[in-house]
Amino acid sequence: MSITVEEVFETVKMTLDHHFDIRTVTLGINLKDCIDRDINKFTARISKRLVEKGLQLNKFADSIEQKYGIPITNRRISVTPVSFLLEPLPRTISSAVKVAKALDNAAKKADIDFIGGFGAMVQKGMTKADEKLIDAIPAALSQTQRVCGFLNLGSTIAGLNMNAVEKFGHILKDLAARTPNGIGCAKIAVFANVPEDNPFMAGAHHGMGEPDYSLNIGISGPGVVRDVVLQNPNCDLTKLSEVIKRTVFKITRAGELIGREIADLMKVDFGIVDISLASTTSQGDSVAEIIEAMGVSQVGLPGSTAALALLMDAVKKGGAMASGNIGGLSGTFIPVSEDAGMIRAVRSGALNLEKLEALTAVCSVGLDMFAVPGSTPADVLSAIIADELCIGITNNKTTSVRVIPVPGKRAGGIVHFGGLLGSAPIMKVAKKASSKFIARRGRIPSPVQALRN
């Protein structure tokens, strides 16, 4: 597919006026060939590789940013799921934490914003290495700054691992207690049907089906889409969908050109373009405000789910027309803390946790960056996770949960995280939910949709 420079320059107005950016370039790196039974040799090998490739990524991202004038906001690395790398090592929490610190130090030396992959694929069961990695999450993420983690707890093929879901509720409580305002919980997401090529944190990892290196692009432009919706206040929804598709088409073309150029300069494979609309704390850079620009008086009120479904469909179709390399999550993020419109809706009472869950049935990401009282019991957190991941399992789509139980905070309050993470209103959640159900553990079997062969 030929992409012209003129098409990229067409995005300059979007960049200047509506916060269009390349949200992230994420270099996936295979670390399986670094494995060693000697942990010191292993960490030395991975550190050398990560620093070398991280410095290259920054160098070439800077040059392309200057060439086209489109900001590349984050430079990230994702690695092979760390639980695989731990298999030959002593299966202890200290081993896992030492690997996490090596990843963190390498990212710091290379000036990489985040490094993802401290996680495990446990949708059907857990090895001893998986269990130790999960046990190490509170220590590892509280003692590092740039390391992000993920767990794949379920899939349409395998069902939902309730042993891991039950365990993770307690892990979250521990991690929240170890970090200011529970912020460590923002660095880990749990998934059903996690993609192997996701460039967005916290779930990014370099999947087992990936090459040695893969350069993935995450683009974003909610401010751009909001602007075109506002420019078409009276058209019917069919035409509005077409307008959004054309806009996403342009954004995607620009993102792919930039991704391919960086990959060529680094002499690595180009992976995918993730076309997810991702909110930021900047004014107007809000997915909720796109929904409201469509005519819904406030996100969370009746009509919100239908409007979000239209937006998701248009984003996916516009990206698919523009590129044959669409992947990752590719849809719409609805993080509460990072989206000014979502925050307003929660504070006004228009959006509660139950409606937020309903919205995730038609979006690609799930319950993202929402805060609950620190006193929320572990079994309630596990139940929230189980509900959300079952939406993804049943509908054969990716869903995830990133929840922050904020110590000392009650429903109705607000917690300020700062920077890109924004501020989160503390959402009301039941103190009692399904403790006996969660305590049954085991595995929720895969749905009949899994029988496709």
Q: What is the DSSP string of 187-233?
A: GEEEEES--TT--STTT----TTS-SEEEEEEEE-HHHHHHHHHT-S
What confidence score (pLDDT) does residue 429 get?
92
pTM score, two decimals? 0.92
110-151: pLDDT as tens digits: 999 999 999 999 999 999 999 999 999 999 999 999 999 999
* Residue 96: cis peptide before it, omega within 30 degrees of 0: no
What confidence score (pLDDT) does residue 16 get?
46
Q: Which parts of the chain sit beneath pLDDT 70?
A: 1-20, 281, 419
How far is residue 354's CA from residue 2's CA, in Å, rounded to a whole number?
45
What confidence score (pLDDT) does residue 251 get?
84
What confidence score (pLDDT) does residue 91 get?
81
Domains with residue ranges and CATH for the chain: 26-51+65-192 (3.20.70.20), 217-267+275-450 (3.20.70.20)
How far is residue 315's CA from residue 320's CA, in Å, rounded to a whole number?
9
What confidence score (pLDDT) does residue 195 get?
93
Instruction: For 352-435, list the strands marked E by DSSP.
Output: 366-373, 399-406, 414-416, 423-425
What confidence score (pLDDT) does residue 323 get?
87
40-85: pLDDT as tens digits: 999 999 999 999 999 999 999 999 988 877 888 889 999 999 999 9
